């Protein structure tokens, strides 16, 4: 089984991935592929730089470029997580893989903003309004850009992560069971 994770910033994709790894899933991330490309190019791996680089790579190569890099790593039998799917073409490329399920992880914007403040990553918004504005810029209707809303719409299952962790894990388990 290959579980793809998509969703907006601070929705809980990383927590979902960590939970799935406890169940034996091997982790891959389109963001890791992007960070590898940034390192090769000498680009500092800040959020804004990675978004810009991802858009550039999609424009130069294809909208599914990052998914094709990770797709080549999914050759051994087993269960995989593919995190950070941010473009519909990435989701479509991975949907061609046997056993692929796209999970959308979402949460109310205020909850996600509070989570982003707690984790304090470089480049994260400092106000709710800035957080919302950054999300708008990340959802431009351009095939080479991030389009998280469209990816969520493509999800086989959308999990709303707005409660306790045990409830979130239960929702993940239900989604996996439903799709196997």
State residue 136's pLDDT score.
85
State residue 113's pLDDT score.
96
- CA 137 from chain centre, in angstroms, equals 16
pLDDT in tens, 113-164: 999 999 887 778 899 999 999 888 777 777 777 888 899 999 999 999 999 9
What token pair was written down for 142? 């351009």
Write a three-state SS string for 122-147.
Answer: CCCCCCHHHHHHHHHHCCCCCCCCCC
Spatial CB neighbours of 137, under 8 Å, sequence gap ≥ 6: none
- CA 173 from chain centre, in angstroms, equals 18
Higher pLDDT, 40 or 125: 40
- Neighbour tally for 42: CB within 10 Å: 6
Distances (CA, A) of 66 to 33, 47, 75, 104: 7, 16, 16, 18
State residue 124's pLDDT score.
80
- Neighbour tally for 147: CB within 10 Å: 24
Distances (CA, A) of 79 to 96, 98, 155, 168, 174: 16, 11, 18, 20, 16
Intra-chain end-to-end CA distance of the chain, in Å: 8
Q: Which residue has the tokens 């950054």?
A: 134
pLDDT band at 108 (very low <50, low <70, confident <90, very high): very high
Of 18, 17, 45, 33, nearest in space to 70 by CA: 33
Q: What is the DSSP letter of 121?
A: -
State residue 161's pLDDT score.
97
- pTM as predicted: 0.90
Domains of the chain, each with CATH number or no CATH:
2-179 (3.40.50.300)
Quote the radius of gyration of the chain (alpha carbons, Å): 15
């Amino acid at each position: 089984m290959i579980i793809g994770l998509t969703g907006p910033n601070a929705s809980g994709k990383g927590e979902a991935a960590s939970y799935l790894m406890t169940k034996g899933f091997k982790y891959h991330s389109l963001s890791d592929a992007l960070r590898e490309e940034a390192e090769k190019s000498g680009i500092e791996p800040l959020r804004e730089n990675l978004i810009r680089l991802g858009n550039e790579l999609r424009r130069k190569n294809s909208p599914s470029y990052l998914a094709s890099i990770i797709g080549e790593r999914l050759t051994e039998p087993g269960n995989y997580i593919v995190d950070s799917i941010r473009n519909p073409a990435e989701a479509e490329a991975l949907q061609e893989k046997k056993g692929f399920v796209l999970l959308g992880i979402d949460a109310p914007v205020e909850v996600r903003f509070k989570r982003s403040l707690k984790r304090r990553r470089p480049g994260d918004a400092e106000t709710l309004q800035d957080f919302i504005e950054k999300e708008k810029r990340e959802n431009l209707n351009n095939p080479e850009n991030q389009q998280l809303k469209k990816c969520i719409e493509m999800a086989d299952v959308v999990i709303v992560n707005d409660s306790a962790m045990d409830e979130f894990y239960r929702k993940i388990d239900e989604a996996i069971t439903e799709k196997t």
